Structure 1
Amino acid sequence: MNILITGGAGFLGTRLALALLERGSLRGRAIRTLVLADLFPASHPALLADARVRADTGDLLERLPALMQADYDAVFHLASAVSGECEADFELGLRSNLEATRRLLEAQRAQQARTGQAPLFFFASSVAVYGSDAAIPLPAVVQDDTLPTPQSSYGIHKFVCEQLLADYTRKGYIDGRAARLMTVSVRPGRPNGAASGFLSGIVREPLAGLEAVCPVDPSTAVALASPDTTIAGILKVVEASREDFGGRTAVNLPALTVTVAQMLEALGRSAGPEAVARVRIAPDAAVARIVGGWPARFESARAARLGLRADASFDDVIAQFRALS
């Protein structure tokens, strides 16, 4: 099996690549090649040492003509301009999120016409597709049938791409699977431009002896998932049969609901009050508006039927991060 991961050198892309290589197969077929497409090459030693891995480096939209000369049995489309970037640069969001995804889907449609086989296509969507609209207020708990009404450019891009994926699947061009990922915490490495980035930073930086800024009120509730839970969800979604996946719409992955205050309490239990003292509350209205517009509570029956469960507690999430640090 030949597999492409866009955003393959990023945090989730790297974790997904490592999980696939450790498994050695996908849908019962041995993994022969794993192409990691990103702006920069992968750096994890295990990926650099594996003969099955190939890097394709550069701007995805510019690289697509050369990249898609090969046929892929599966594509994991993780690459995206993140929430804060899309609000700050409208053109960047349109180009990186909408146009890149549309051209990638078109390349897969052309492949299906050549080979007669519909390739697997996984799209990483987001909880940001939800928001409260004046005509359709957001319910206290988001169910699988809650209507998405995104309130940010990023969320709108994700929802539009979900619908494109569904239509290409309906037409038989791909076997499309979309999953709405919760905010992943705790992410290692450097902060990125995501509005939700502080939900990792307020743990990661204090554990490293550094100060961190929290731009929202500590009472703010958020929906989170650990890296392990997120990767397990992605793999379960793509391994499921078409019937078990259920329809063509995106599935909401499980969420752990916590407040920022509860996250800091867990940090204190893990690393002591001195770690919590390194977090400074400095409200940022723009970030608070974006994050506060996302739902914090989910009942994800479809994910549960696939055997997926949320993280048990944020204490467990921190323990997972510290074990890998």
Structure 2
Amino acid sequence: MHILITGAAGFLGQRLTQALLAAGQCRGEPLTRLTLVDQSTPPHPTAQGAVAITTTARDLTEDGAWDALLEGRPQVIYHLAAVVSSAAEADLALGQAVNFDATRRLLEGCHQRGMSDTRVIMASSVAVYGGELPDVLDDMTALRPQSSYGSQKAMCELLIQDYSRRGLVDGLVLRLPTIVIRPGRPNAAASSFASSILREPLNGEDAVCPVSPELELFVMSPGKVVEALVHGAEVAADSLGDFRAFMLPGITVSVAEMLDALERKGGAEARARVSFRPDERVNAIVSSWPGRFRTAKADALGFVGDSDFDAIVDAFMAEHPRAR
């Protein structure tokens, strides 16, 4: 089994790499080859068993960038590479090139090589929704993104659906909830604050929240997202129905409830480290994302979410012993 991961240098790509190596197999076959690609060379993991690992730096928007990557005819492709929400909003051309054009080139490259059985799994986002919405959404809710990032992801969803309908690839789109708690430092994603208002106080640092305490988010832990990505390769094509994109089973939580959990786990001192400083740009993007979903399709296909928000904080603290 040959697996390709784009965006492999990111925190999600690195976690997925380790999960796949630990499993040692995929779709009933031993994992024999793993190709990792990102803008900068991904860290080279320690191989477990006889797995040939290639790490490479590549700009996926350049002409011919996919040729060498698809030459080995990977049977599963995890397409995680993307320009995040705020950056895509700030630079339309960059977002289009990375989020849409590179995905189109990937699909066309698979088509040209006759890779109809290759499972292409793309990470999409809650940002594909927006505008006037029902109180609770489901997989049949119309996509009305209110950001360039959401629009680019929605276009990719339709493109993957069409290539799959034609039998050119075996596509799957997993709409990811907001991932909390991300490790590392804040990035350009509009949702970055959702991790920093927990991660920094638990590490004894101050944090700023740019949105109101009443804002609701649909969230999922990094561990459960990685489990979902691994499971996505195993789901039978004939069980996916007539549309290949759906929302993963996150949980709904308000910012205030997130801070309540922070206080339960880190004490009043941790909560006091969070201050509120409204940011209209961030709020405009994040408040357009819905916070409540019915995820019947994901549930029926065996995808599993977190039990509650305290479990998400507990998982972070267990993984990062310095957090207190």
TM-score w.r.t. structure 2 length?
A: 0.94
Over 3 Å counting, the alpha-carbon distance change for 1:270 and 1:289 in structure 2 is same
Q: Which residue of 1 aligns with 2:67?
A: 65
Question: Is residue 318 of structure 1 aligned with residue 318 of structure 2?
Answer: no
Over 3 Å counting, the alpha-carbon distance change for 1:49 and 1:211 in structure 2 is farther
Matches within 5 A, 1:1-325: 1-43=1-43, 46=46, 51-62=51-62, 63-112=65-114, 117-132=116-131, 137-325=132-320
**Which AA in structure 2 matches 1:268?**
E
The answer to which structure has the higher helix fraction is 1
Secondary structure at 1:61 match in 2: coil
**Aligned partners of 2:179 and 2:220 also within 8 Å:** yes
Over 3 Å counting, the alpha-carbon distance change for 1:309 and 1:69 in structure 2 is closer
How far apart, in 1, do the equivalents of 2:250 and 2:52 lie?
33
How far apart, in 2, do the equivalents of 1:75 and 1:39 lie?
17
Secondary structure at 2:61 match in 1: helix
How far apart, in 1, do the equivalents of 2:12 and 2:306 lie?
17
How far apart, in 2, do the equivalents of 1:48 and 1:201 lie?
33
How far apart, in 2, do the equivalents of 1:108 and 1:178 lie?
16
The one-character-per-residue Cα deviations of 1:35-68 (angstroms, maximum 9, x if unpaired) are 1111122337546998532101132223323323
**Aligned partners of 1:56 and 1:67 also within 8 Å:** no
The one-character-per-residue Cα deviations of 1:49-92 (angstroms, maximum 9, x if unpaired) are 98532101132223323323321111110000000001111111
Shift of 1:261: 0.7
Shift of 1:311: 1.2
How far apart, in 2, do the equivalents of 1:274 and 1:46 lie?
39
The one-character-per-residue Cα deviations of 1:142-195 (angstroms, maximum 9, x if unpaired) are 012111111100000001000110111111110001110101100101211100
Over 3 Å counting, the alpha-carbon distance change for 1:67 and 1:249 in structure 2 is closer
How far apart, in 2, do the equivalents of 1:25 and 1:244 lie?
21
CA RMSD of aligned residues (A): 1.7
Shift of 1:121: 0.6
Shift of 1:251: 1.3
Q: Which stretches in structure 1 are left out of the alignment for 5+ residues?
A: none
How far apart, in 1, do the equivalents of 2:69 and 2:232 lie?
25
Shift of 1:242: 1.6
Shift of 1:243: 2.5
**Which AA in structure 1 matches 2:181?**
V
Q: Percent identity?
A: 45
TM-score w.r.t. structure 1 length?
A: 0.94
Shift of 1:309: 3.3
Number of equivalences: 318
Which deviates further from its counterpart, 62-71 or 310-319?
A: 62-71
Q: Which stretches in structure 2 are left out of the alignment for 5+ residues?
A: none
How far apart, in 1, do the equivalents of 2:77 and 2:119 lie?
6
Shift of 1:324: 1.1
**Aligned partners of 2:5 and 2:35 also within 8 Å:** yes
Shift of 1:248: 2.7
**Which AA in structure 2 matches 1:52?**
A
